Amino acid sequence: MRRILFVLIGLAAVGAAAFWWLTAPATLAAVDLPDHTPDLANGETLFWAGGCASCHAAPGAKDDDLLKLGGGAELDSPLGAFTVPNISPDEASGIGGWSTVDFVNALRFGVSPGGEHYYPSFPYASYQHITLEDLIDLKGFLDTLPTVDNRVSAASLPFPFSIRRGIGLWKRLYVNDPGFAADPALSDAENRGAYLVTGPGHCGECHTPRTLFFGMDDSRRLAGGPALEGSGTVPNITPGGKEISGWSASDIAYYLESGFTPDYDVVGGAMAGVQKNWAHVPAVDRDAVAAYLKAIPALPSSQ
């Protein structure tokens, strides 16, 4: 009996050690970053392409307040509600005290300056594909924005989702391919669009259906599916989707700029905020996104 007990204790110890090792946060050190001076104009492009204001500005913020990123909005999900954090340069309640490598590790690996895993309501599964230089540029731009003193409470989820360490297992499936590799089969403009859609724009976070473990299903990328927040569905934005299959590349680019569809309808729902952001992005980048969305394989809608 004692021998069985020792074996069970040993197995439990090995299991605990394996869990601890498998869930360890991956991070970069400051010496791993390139010697790069922030390009604030590029940082602003990334800010709007990434829709930072849509989540991190105060709920219902007017245009004049979109650069005040005090957070506070609540995002519903099947696992519970998440409160959007303050990412203004405020040192007490925002990210003003973060180093550049802190910021890079948060966006690329979903790891806090204190070494904790962030919940993937923060779309780092997409942001992992942003280049290190672009992340440095984005941090430089965010540092120029107004400070907002607003302390936001941490997410409170039911067990076992309350154990943040366990998110490390999820990351082994969905956050294991940092960086971005251009596709030689695509043109330069299409690859630029691929980068913006996949990384900064994180379009797949809404437009790609989820697996059983709430990761993006890459085999159905951008084919639409159930909305993660609230009810309804998100459209298929591949050429196989009925929503935009008849649109030209110029139609898509104009929609991102103006909010008008080729049928003179107006953007609505959650996409209205996305479009408002993309109106600030340079036209060449809207054109690149449109070119890429017309070049990807057509998939039937997932919903």
Per-residue confidence at 184, pLDDT binned at 50, 70, 90?
Answer: very high
pLDDT for res 82: 75
Percent of the chain with pLDDT over 70: 86
Higher pLDDT, 122 or 9: 122
Higher pLDDT, 279 or 226: 279
pLDDT for res 31: 97
Q: Is the pLDDT of residue 21 over 60?
A: no
pLDDT for res 6: 52
Per-residue confidence at 13, pLDDT binned at 50, 70, 90?
Answer: low
| DSSP secondary structure of 66-81 | TT------EE--TT--
Nearest CA to 151 out of 97, 106, 85 is that of 85
Per-residue confidence at 26, pLDDT binned at 50, 70, 90?
Answer: confident
User: Rounded to an integer, what distance in angstroms lies between the CA atom of residue 151 and that of residue 255?
Assistant: 36
Higher pLDDT, 75 or 173: 173
Range of weakest confidence among 66-75, 222-231, 257-266, 270-279: 222-231
Q: Could you tell me if 191 and 183 are in contact, meaning their C-beta atoms sit under 8 angstroms apart?
A: yes
pLDDT for res 229: 66
Q: Is the pLDDT of residue 214 over 90?
A: no
Q: Is the pLDDT of residue 11 over 60?
A: no
Range of weakest confidence among 30-39, 82-91, 196-205: 82-91
pLDDT for res 245: 87
C-alpha distances (whole Å) from 52 to each of 26, 56, 61, 159, 271 are: 24, 6, 13, 29, 14
User: Rounded to an integer, what distance in angstroms lies between the CA atom of residue 134 and that of residue 200?
Assistant: 9
Per residue in 94-133, pLDDT tens?
999 999 999 999 999 999 999 999 988 899 999 999 999 9
**CB count, 10 Å around CB of 41?**
10
Q: Is the pLDDT of residue 294 over 80?
A: yes
pLDDT for res 119: 87
Per residue in 41-50, pLDDT tens?
999 999 999 9
pLDDT for res 22: 56
158 CB burial (10 A radius; 0-12, 13-18, 19+)? exposed
Return mean pLDDT, the chain.
88
Q: Is the pLDDT of residue 5 over 70?
A: no
User: Rounded to an integer, what distance in angstroms lies between the CA atom of residue 278 and that of residue 282?
Assistant: 8
C-alpha distances (whole Å) from 204 to each of 164, 196, 222 are: 24, 11, 6
C-alpha distances (whole Å) from 71 to each of 52, 81, 86, 148, 199 are: 10, 14, 4, 9, 22
Q: What is the mean pLDDT of residues 73-92?
A: 80
> In terms of pTM, does the model score above 0.75?
yes
Q: Is the pLDDT of residue 25 over 60?
A: yes
Q: Could you tell me if 175 and 109 are in contact, meaning their C-beta atoms sit under 8 angstroms apart?
A: yes
Q: Is the pLDDT of residue 19 over 60?
A: no
Nearest CA to 191 out of 71, 275, 286, 292 is that of 292
Q: What is the mean pLDDT of residues 159-175?
A: 82
Q: Is the pLDDT of residue 248 over 60?
A: yes
